A and B are shown apart, each in its own frame.
Chain A
């Protein structure tokens, strides 16, 4: 019998105190719980990986059918349902719906207006987003014209923007830069600049960042447990951590690979568990966290986040048959043949292919009978019976 974990023992103690149990009663409770605990432990030889896969996979079939749509409400879309699950499990390099949840430090902002303004200041604004470059190829001049609507929407000071743009755009080809006026800035290129280079320069200038944090496309202020929370579309964990107004202890990103980059593999593992669990949970599917934990362990155990795909964990199996039975059969068999690989028949699929009993469950146990010893044993038994 295994002993109970500390946490459970503590809880029993608290419960007994609350109900004012006698010592004998508490002891009996511990006994019962210990027995239950031992009953629910996994038996040696159980195919717990497969059970985890089934436990996640079966409810996953319900995910495909149900997709929630919120009509009209302003919010950041976080990939939902089966697409998000696949994205996490595949360990993709870039997330389709990166999003952050940012908590504010207490007492930094006192009005909602200020919070909204702060939230807007986080948005990554590039030159191209607030105006347009108008080209005059004949005179080789380019003028930048502000989009006033956009400026008002983003709540930015016009003159501040102009000077910022003026400072940031420095180009080799540009011979003259005119100081900005109300409507825009004019740039004049050298007379012999190829037209192609002017276009190239404009494309480059459009991408020059002005305000905010890189990769953050949109911010929405919402409320969580009576506290204002900023939800972002796009994620940049390392930069967000530098922002003073934010409670960096609690701020969170759903981009697992970014978590891995910034905090390391253990945090990434936690992140996988949390993201998977939340995705299922928000669809009303209850999966035991231990199943997800096994999956996350498998994805992270050698220090990098690896997906359950042929380029990830599955492709790294040692057994050539196991690899061949997953995807790209011929490729794996041929490469195994070139390398002269040996199949050790330790896994399940390998043994199924060959037609041997699998090495899991009851197939894990082997009883061997030594015929020589058997004769001795029989004699011993017979003599014992005679003695009696």
Chain B
């Protein structure tokens, strides 16, 4: 067993031993840089365990770094010039041994300099750009290097929740759910990453003028105030597409579903008004307006059980209504209809309904820096505070949301946005590259306060506000969390079949559960009658008849108008009030063979 020799692993399996691991590594590296070994092969040396790992397999994340030799970057000024003149491309640099890809294991052996200025002879690599430490998404956030780490993550998270233009062919797509922003704008402050991936071609944000000030308590705890004028000008306006679908299924009995406009002969007919959008083929007309619960695809299905043949041999077929309706709280225009068939020849209909989602109280917005909030109030434009220039902000953000979250990037983006609007050009906010002092100076040169604040006047009284207020354009996103899709309410409604208690869940029109802990809270307050109302009266209250002698639930024969005990004849029949759940318990006890005898105290007269 060679103890002092280092073990060599290729893709995790031991292949041999070597006396001089460092030399082996160096040789291999040389060969890789020459191109004799593939550039995706990584060699890592672990000094502690005296092992060399050579990885050639898939699934390793690699990142490119500039090779440094003797404290000098291999990417010389001449090469940079060649790149600018488009004489050489990326692959040439990799081939020539200027750049190389490192994986997580080999990175452990590397000493990487962030900047060319800090290079020493010990360094092995140099970052291509300071921005490279961020992901694609987070490096699209301007001035993210000034943010707290947690907020940078929040800011990156909302990129996937933002409403924009989801795809170039969104008009032809039939997604179950889709949001499209009406007036997306290119951000005033961009980063180089954004330019590289050209995300500005289909942006998902708008440049809203945001002032950081409280407003009558309507923007406390992360609420936002939105200017009604801004909404009318199109801030945050989006449309929501929802696709409903149905198909004409065939059943073993030979019958099939059918797209029709249901009439009175169909079981479950809902009345003319509901079917008003349907054309003659049973499918709603394009660009007709559907109310909530309105039928989108008219359909009838065969009866669930094949009817017995009647005496005269005529089968009277009673078809059921099975139309597809618009969802609760959702109304809109029929946008597009698609009719096709499966391989088996079953007709399929997909129908896309478009609804306008105009920003309203409860809708969610977010800046690039994780400063998210829900609209707390929509304020008329004339009541909004204004600057000495007469400019009225679109959003009012509460000042409390800044200090504890330390999103300096948000403030710098505001100033950057202001400079961009004044200069008339887009400002670069690439992290680690831009000096904020330049921005402040430019702002000053244009005659504004260099701290970004402006004098404000109260919108209702016209009085000058005591303190200047920080204001400027920031890119804001509308997020797909929309109240219209979330609002829910119920008074009476559907109940469960088994327990006769109200259903749970938004789609079923259910209630909010009044659970055990809530009940305990009421007991703790001593409000016995309120508890009784919540648990029994508004849930599964039941009046039953009970035999006073044997204590069993009596039979209430409504047809013959007769109430009698099923097992004895001695007792009188009394009416009591219990919960249906208790009746179920009694039934279950009886099934167990336990005789639950009720003794009646209070009875209903």
Contact = CB atoms under 8 A, between A and B. Distances in A.
Given A333-B589, A352-B535, A361 B579 contact: no
A20 interface: no
A355 B535 CA distance: 8
Q: How large is the interface on B (under 10, 10 to 19, 20 to 34, 35 or more residues)?
A: 20 to 34
A51 interface: yes
A329 to B, nearest CB: 10
A49 to B, nearest CB: 10
A13 B542 CA distance: 61
Contacts of B490: none
A45 interface: yes
B582 A353 contact: yes
Interface of A: 43, 45-47, 50-51, 54, 330, 333-334, 337, 348, 352-364
A352 B518 CA distance: 13
A360 B525 CA distance: 9
7 contacts: A45-B526, A51-B524, A54-B520, A352-B535, A360-B526, A361-B528, A362-B526
Interface string B337-361: 0000000000000000000000000
B594 A43 contact: no
A50 B520 CA distance: 7
Interface in B487-529: 519-521, 523-529
Contact of A355 (B527, B536, B589, B592): B536
A355 B529 CA distance: 11
B527 A361 contact: yes
Given A352-B535, A354-B578, A355-B536, A360 B589 contact: no
A50 B578 contact: no
Given A50-B520, A333-B594, A352-B535, A363 B529 contact: yes
Interface in B179-203: none
Nearest to A43: B526
A357 B592 contact: no
B524 A358 contact: no
B343 to A, nearest CB: 53
A360 B530 CA distance: 12
Contacts of A356: 532
B171 interface: no
Secondary structure class of chain A's binding surface, majority of residues: helix
Q: Which of A47, A54, A361 lies at the interface centre, i.e. has the most chain B CB atoms within 10 A of its CB?
A: A361
Given A333-B589, A334-B592, A355-B535, A360 B579 contact: no
A2 to B, nearest CB: 20
Given A354-B582, A355-B535, A355-B578, A361 B589 contact: no
B523 A50 contact: yes
A43 B535 CA distance: 24
A333 B520 contact: no
A355 B582 contact: yes
Given A54-B520, A337-B593, 6 more contacts: A47-B523, A337-B589, A352-B531, A355-B536, A355-B578, A357-B529
Contacts of A354: 578-579, 582
A47 B594 contact: no
Contacts of B291: none
B592 A333 contact: yes
B523 A348 contact: yes
B578 A361 contact: no
Interface of B: 519-521, 523-529, 531-532, 535-536, 541-542, 577-579, 581-582, 585, 589, 592-595
A362 B527 contact: yes
Secondary structure class of chain B's binding surface, majority of residues: helix
Nearest to A353: B582
Contact of B585 (A47, A51, A334, A353): A353
B535 A360 contact: no
Contacts of B531: 352, 357-358
A278 to B, nearest CB: 26
A361 B523 contact: yes
Contact of A47 (B526, B535, B536, B595): B526
Contacts of A361: 523, 525-528
Given A362-B526, A362-B527, A357 B585 contact: no
For the complex of A and B, the 7 pairs showing the least CB-CB separation, nearest first, are A361-B526, A363-B528, A355-B579, A337-B594, A357-B532, A355-B536, A355-B578
Nearest to B586: A354
A101 to B, nearest CB: 37
Nearest to B522: A361
Contacts of B529: 357, 362-363
Contacts of A352: 519, 531, 535
Contacts of B585: 353
A238 B579 CA distance: 56
Nearest to A58: B517
B239 to A, nearest CB: 44
A352 B532 CA distance: 8
Contacts of B577: 355
A337 to B, nearest CB: 4
Given A47-B523, A50-B523, A352-B519, A358 B594 contact: no
Nearest to B580: A355
A91 to B, nearest CB: 23
Contacts of B595: 337
Given A333-B589, A355-B541, A360 B582 contact: no
Nearest to B593: A337
Nearest to B542: A355
A20 B519 CA distance: 51
Nearest to B595: A337
A51 B542 CA distance: 31
B526 A357 contact: no
Contacts of B526: 43, 45-47, 360-362
A79 to B, nearest CB: 27
